[in-house]
Homo-oligomer: A and B are copies of this chain.
Amino acid sequence: MPIKIAVIGCGYWGPNLIRNLQQIDGVQATFVCDIEQTKLENIKKAYPHIRVTKDYLEIIKNPEIDAVCIATPLATHFEITKAALLNNKDVLVEKPFTLSSKEARELINLTEEKKRILMVDHTFLFTGAVNKIKELIDRGELGKLYYFDSERVNLGLLRSDTNVIWDLATHDLSIIDYLFDQKPITVSAVCSSHICGKEEMAHITLKHQEGFISHIHVSWLSPVKLRKILVGGDKKMILYNDIEPVEKIKIYDRGIDLDPNQITSFTPLYRGGDIIIPKIDQTEALNKVVEHFVECIKERKKPLIDGEAGLRVVKILEAIDKSILEKGREIVII
């Protein structure tokens, strides 16, 4: 019997979920919900065999549905996820997980209670690029870590339900959480708002241990789209340019040491070896997200990115909000 999965929310991400669900063996995308009629009509046009509804409860209370993917606005994640869990559905919920760590904690507890699968869709963690970086870090190839520096800017898309930090920086926070054992200890943020009353650009600084610093620059007000992450260590450094269609990652055998034979004078030694552009897995990340979700459903196992991972990111987002309120003060992440 195929696993029957429904998708709730059919804005930007929902149709991608449906398309990927369609491609997995043993899965049936059966039901889609959105509050906008035209969105449902588009689905109906492309997939006449899929049922549609405006009422998500019709899906959640349907005993034939095994699992739901929730791609609705952030403010509704808690309510819909909770209802789904209470009705014994397994859940894949979009990032960010919830509006608050309190909500996240309640959903984690409910998941355990109901013995359900709960996965948060931190899509980037399923890209070939991020996993190649993780592999290099885990093997110690970068040496002692210096910094993580992300630039994630473009023009729009302004959203009425969230700000640029919860929208874009969430990606980087989830990547930082995934890559580094040294979790960030404090955060500070500066931002500004010019058009819609919500933060449209921000600079976020996270301090980890031993001088390791992460910085995230997000903006909806950049004329160009940039997706660039630098990760530096004392042995190697990585440039991850996600705009590049194929050659996304460059590994630099570069660094600086002070000449140990010159203890009285200041003699930096610059190391500049070859650069390697490793082959990376080009599979669409969402395809892997959905496959992993289905595998967890079948095998009743904990997803790699579970509620706890979602909660850790929400906690940092809350600390950022606090720092902004206090004009950029450094906030300890609890």
Contacts and interface: CB of A to CB of B under 8 A. Distances in A.
Interface of A: 19, 22-23, 45-49, 144, 146-147, 149, 151, 153, 155-158, 160, 188, 190, 192-196, 201, 203, 205, 207, 211-213, 215, 217, 219-225, 230, 232, 234, 237-239, 243, 245-247, 250, 252, 254-258, 266, 268, 270, 272-279, 327-328, 330
A192 B215 contact: no
Contacts of A268: 156-158, 195-196
Given A217-B149, A224-B239, A196 B23 contact: no
Contacts of A255: 155
Contact of A243 (B207, B224, B245, B254): B245
Total identical chains: 4
A134 B326 CA distance: 34
A185 to B, nearest CB: 13
For the complex of A and B, list the 7 residue pairs with the smallest distance between their C-beta atoms, beginning with the closest: A223-B252, A160-B266, A223-B237, A275-B277, A158-B268, A48-B49, A192-B211
Contacts of A223: 230, 232, 237-239, 250, 252, 254
